[in-house]
């Protein structure tokens, strides 16, 4: 994935190397910032149609995720392809991409 290589080059160029555990913490913090923006812009969920988040905040999440993937030596493009194939399989088998479904009795399967 070209974007992953861009992140890796930026990290190298600016000496921003960090262990994967720190990258995961950073990713979690960045996703939390998105959640905060969504919470505030929707008046704590009372007006979901008014949700807004800044594009640069989404970019921060992508940067953190791609830096984590790079640190774990995971090709983000291949991981995405695998995920889509998994969701396609679930849709074909269960009619939903969700990892767990409930049967009519309410039991998870």
What would the pLDDT profile of 5-47 be if each residue is shown by its tens digit?
999 999 999 999 999 999 999 999 999 999 999 999 999 999 9
* Residue burial 3-33, b: 16+ Cβ < 10 Å; e: rest: ebeebeeebeeeeeeeeeeebbebbeebeee
Domain extents in the chain: 2-94
Domain at 2-94: CATH architecture: Orthogonal Bundle (1.10)
User: Which pLDDT score is estimated for 104?
Assistant: 53
pLDDT level of residue 64 (50, 70, 90 thresholds): very high
pTM, to two decimals? 0.85
């Amino acid at each position: 994935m070209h974007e992953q290589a861009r992140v890796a080059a930026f990290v190298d160029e600016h000496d921003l190397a960090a262990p994967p555990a720190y990258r995961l913490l950073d990713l979690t913090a960045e996703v939390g910032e998105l959640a905060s923006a969504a919470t505030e812009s929707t008046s704590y969920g009372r007006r979901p149609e008014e949700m807004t988040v800044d594009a640069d905040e989404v970019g921060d999440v992508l940067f953190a995720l791609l830096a984590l993937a790079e640190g774990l030596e995971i090709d983000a493009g291949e991981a995405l392809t695998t995920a889509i194939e998994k969701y396609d399989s679930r849709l074909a088998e269960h009619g939903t991409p969700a990892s767990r479904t409930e049967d009519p009795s309410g039991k998870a399967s």
